[in-house]
Amino acid sequence: MTAGELLNKAMIALSSSKLLLDAGDASGACNRAYYAMFDAARAALLASKLSDDVLTIRTHSGLIASFSLKLVKSGLVDIQFGKALNKVEDLRLVADYKGDPVEMEEATWAVQQATEFVSSMQNSFF
């Protein structure tokens, strides 16, 4: 998969997160917001050419750690985006696995963070 294909996948997930939020599906919106950020992070790492193993990283935590190390700690990406990625992942885990309800306010925040994240990765690396 190319960086451009990953960015396109992120944009589709972002659109889905907005539709789910508008439909009142807070858990679904958090899931799609996280995957928008996850794919945008993968795209940014691939486009930056700072990580040779982007497409072979096998875990979410591995990708988030690589994103933090290569792009956030180097100053190429603002620390707020690293923090947002971690917080939205936590919301997704609650929504998908823990069975606890995700509040609409949290989902709205997650979708807003994903919107800013995807936009920033696109503007910085494409």
Q: Domains for the chain: give ranges and CATH numbers.
A: 3-125 (1.20.120.330)
Given a contact cutoff of 8 angstroms between Cβ atoms, the answer to whether 86 and 64 are in contact is yes
Q: Which helix (H) or strand (E) holds 114?
A: helix 104-125
Q: What value does the mean pLDDT take over residues 15-36?
A: 97
pTM for the whole structure = 0.94
In angstroms and rounded to an integer, the radius of gyration of the C-alpha atoms of the chain is 14
Q: Which helix (H) or strand (E) holds 20?
A: helix 3-22
Whole-number pLDDT of residue 54: 81
**Other beta carbons within 10 Å of 97:** 8
Whole-number pLDDT of residue 51: 72
DSSP letter (8 states) at residue 23: T
Whole-number pLDDT of residue 109: 98
If we measure between CA atoms, which residue out of 23, 17, 125, 15 comes closest to residue 77?
A: 125
Q: What value does the mean pLDDT take over residues 13-21?
A: 98
Whole-number pLDDT of residue 1: 87
Given a contact cutoff of 8 angstroms between Cβ atoms, the answer to whether 71 and 50 are in contact is yes
Whole-number pLDDT of residue 58: 85
Q: First CA to last CA across the chain, in angstroms?
A: 15
User: In whole angstroms, what is the distance from residue 55 CA to residue 38 CA?
Assistant: 12
Residue 56 — very low, low, confident or very high, per pLDDT cuts 50/70/90?
confident
